[in-house]
A and B are shown apart, each in its own frame.
Chain A
Amino acid sequence: MMSDSAEQPRSVGRLITAKRGRSKLHWSDVFSYVYLGLGVLLMFAPVVWLALSSFKTPAGLLEFPPTLLPLGQISVEVPGYDDPLLMFSTTMEDGSVRELAQVRRIGIVATMLDPNDPDQTFSVPITQNEPIREVRMAWENYSGPLERFNFMSYLWNSVIVTTAATIVTLLINSMAAYGLSIYEFRGRNAIMLFVIGTLMIPITVILVPMYLVVTSMGMVNSLWAVILPGAATPTGVFLLRQYMLTIPKDLIEAARMDKASEWQIYWRVVMPLALPAIAVLAIFSIMWRWNEFLWPLIVLSRSEVYTLQVGLNAFQGELNVQWHYILAMTVVTLIPVVLVFAFLQKFITTGIASSGMK
């Protein structure tokens, strides 16, 4: 088990690179950095693209080729016209290019005028017109849904579900893992086999029976219906148990000598030692619950108990998917994930690395 992440890389790194003279760059170093550079692009660019797209207008989203930044067409107020007119860059018959405003379009011919000289109009084939645009963020993709829906209530529900479920999960999983790793008892292997067996059952295939169980317990349309069913995760038990197996038995024996009760050993000795694995499970539990969609969609049918994922997906219609809202609301649900990760990234990655699941 590694104890210090700062020390190991140096020695191992030196060992693998030591053979090559330090002074010149070996091909494998170049390869490594190119690989990592491509990796960064491949991992980040899609999410950045999503975020940029979420600021585009519905028409802007449909454009091909897509523009990198969200753009909006410039319009001008012209005296004598009620509505602002859209600006185009027009190639005139003599080949010169002018910036003109469009008055109206009939068929394939547009009537244009120069905003500085509104009295003269031109008839131009629309193929000669190129819209003039500027960077413009469609904030309404965000403000519209957030004002319309009870965003704070969805957020609150999501936070409650995530926190409560994570606490319950951590508690009961760690207790079970403790029982399975510290004691030798009849049925241990059977239970372990059972845990691993159910690790493999995707919840999707037992949705309806689970719904029946939850309704018969009277939990429909209560947050409990989302919190409790997934709490006894086999993955969590498996992960924690594998980690607890690495805890030296002597420590536990020593504690017993000191007349510590079994609960105290669990809570005072084993839990602190298993903290990296617990942290990993906590993070996974938070992510699972925050992202859960299909199950809440079925058991929560009243808006006051909607979680973010259910509430913000109300834009998925039958015949029309309102992409501009979907993308924006996806970004909204991503923000907490990104924040958590940005602040805890080091903790998370070293936690997983050091829990290692050996």
Chain B
Amino acid sequence: MPEKNANTSLSDRLTAIAAIPVVLFFRLFEAPFRFVQKIGGLKAMPYIFLLPNLAFFGVFVVVPLFINFSFSFTGGTNIFLSERVYTGTEQYEFLFDCGNYLDPQSCREDRFWKAIFNTMTFVVLQVSSLVALSLVTALILNRKIRARGFFRAVFFFPVLLSPVVVALIWKWILLRDGILNAFLVSIGLERILFFISPEWAMFWAIFVSIWSQMGFYMLILLAGLQAIPPDLYEAAEMDGTSPERVFWRITLPLLWPNLLVVVVLALIKGVQVFDEVFVLTGGGPGTATQFIVQYIYTTGFASSVQNFGLASAASVVLGLVLFVLTLAQLAAVRRKNDV
């Protein structure tokens, strides 16, 4: 335990004062919960604990999801479901009207398919680099390092910035007349127009999203590393095992649960990528960094004829894909540790 200093008693007292309203607040709930327990017994308790969250969830997520689902079978520009025209599966047929699913150009809605392929590229590259970099950073911070707390904080703080701010910061650096180009020119290189090259734009989209998220995943992995029992390393050391072998045989297997959490969360965030990249590259050049959420957003919202039907159909397709992904991940998690 950290040693106590003179300030602790004061801060303890302040904490106690601050706790009073919290205590009163929670007292309020005691009676109704006791009542439910008396009537329904232990069996009823999980439901009553779940009720508030599920109620909010139902109203603000499930109902909109349902409306969204219904939208996908309608057309026109009216916002109220009752005024919209029923179109059956036309919107889906439109999305899937393709000569060859691997060639977006052959599709009626080429942008949807480009967005899907772009998202897949992004997710594969971003998640793999993100996990690798988080792991390297966590391993380094797990060494005997001076000022570990400082470095940990430095890598973490971009997590707290809003995506819009993150994108703004980097855009400001990467512009034609930005400081990075000034640096390139000053060391005698040519200016690079980052946002007109599909490869550079994708690179920076991935880079910036890693920059802003790595700290969080790094911390999860660091926690996992620090939880590995020291005697395992000691034993390995006695046997004269090489560090590489120690890493592959001890560190990685024991870190597996944390690594899995990191991969799952990174995948989810990767598929949802939108605002950071939207502010940074605007989806360009051309459609090179236009991702699926941006496609939905532009189609349904930021377009002169707000096509809610088509956008909803696309989001239902996205939802199905995500659901399958989740099931696959759950299966993987379940194999390793019980969920």
Q: Do chains A and B touch in the complex (CB under 8 A)?
A: yes
Q: How far is the CA of A59 from the CA of B330 in the complex (A)?
A: 55
Tell me whether A42 and B49 are in contact (CB under 8 A).
no
The CA-CA distance from A334 to B33 in the complex, in Å, is 41
Q: How far is the CA of A139 from the CA of B9 in the complex (A)?
A: 42
Given A185-B46, A202-B293, A206-B315 in contact, is the A12-B56 Cβ separation under 8 Å? no
Contact A2 B227 (CB under 8 A): yes
Q: Assess whether A179 is in contact with B56, with CB atoms less than 8 Å apart.
A: no
If the complex has contacts A66-B178, A330-B165, are A352 and B216 also in contact, measured as CB distance less than 8 A? Answer: yes
Q: Which of A42-68 contact B (CB under 8 A)?
A: 42-44, 46-47, 49-50, 53, 62-66
Q: Are B272 and A192 in contact (CB under 8 A)?
A: no
Interface assignment of B200: CB less than 8 Å from any CB of chain A? no
- Output the least CB separation between A205 and chain B (Å): 4
Interface size on A, residues (CB 8 A): 109
The answer to whether the Cβ of A116 comes within 8 Å of any Cβ in the partner chain is: no
A107 → chain B closest CB, angstroms:
26
- A243 to chain B: closest CB distance in Å? 12
Chain B residues with CB under 8 A of A4:
1
A42 near B172: Cβ-Cβ < 8 Å: no
CB-contact partner of B140 in A12, A35, A356, under 8 A: A35
The B interface is mostly helix, strand or loop, or mixed, namely: helix
Contacts of A50 in B (CB 8 A): 168-169, 172
- Which of A15-23, A119-127, A128-136, A150-158 contacts its partner? A15-23
Interface: B149 (CB within 8 A) = yes
Question: Which residues from chain B contact A212 at a C-beta distance below 8 Å?
Answer: 64, 67, 79-81
What residues on B are CB-neighbors of A306 within 8 Å? none
Please determine whether A172 and B52 come into contact, CB atoms closer than 8 angstroms: yes
Find out whether the CB atom of B46 lies under 8 angstroms from the CB atom of A188: yes
Q: Which of B296-310 contact A (CB under 8 A)?
A: 296-297, 300-301, 306, 308
CB-based contact A46/B173 at 8 Å: yes
CB distance from B38 to the nearest CB of A (A): 9
Across the interface, name the chain A residue whose C-beta is closest to B230: A11
Interface string of A1-15 (1 = CB under 8 A from B): 110111011111111
Known contacts being A13-B144, A205-B297, A349-B219, is A2 close to B226, with CB within 8 Å? yes
Of B50, B79, B163, B169, chain A has the most CB atoms within 10 Å of the CB of B50
Q: Does B271 contact A (CB under 8 A)?
A: yes
In the complex, chain B residues whose CB is within 8 Å of the CB of A188: 46
Contacts of A19 in B (CB 8 A): 237, 243
Could you tell me which B residues sit within 8 Å of A by CB distance?
1-2, 26, 29-30, 33-34, 37, 42-43, 45-50, 52-54, 56-57, 59-61, 63-68, 71, 79-81, 136-137, 140-145, 148-149, 151-165, 168-170, 172-173, 176-179, 181-182, 185-186, 211, 216, 219-220, 222-228, 230, 233-234, 237, 243, 257-258, 261, 268, 271-272, 274-275, 293, 296-297, 300-301, 306, 308, 311, 315, 318-319, 322-323, 325-326, 330, 339
Question: What are 11 A-B contacts defined by CB distance under 8 Å?
Answer: A16-B144, A32-B140, A179-B46, A182-B46, A183-B42, A192-B339, A193-B326, A212-B79, A287-B160, A291-B162, A353-B152
Known: A9-B144, A40-B154, A341-B160. 4 other contacts (CB 8 A): A36-B151, A200-B268, A202-B272, A237-B53
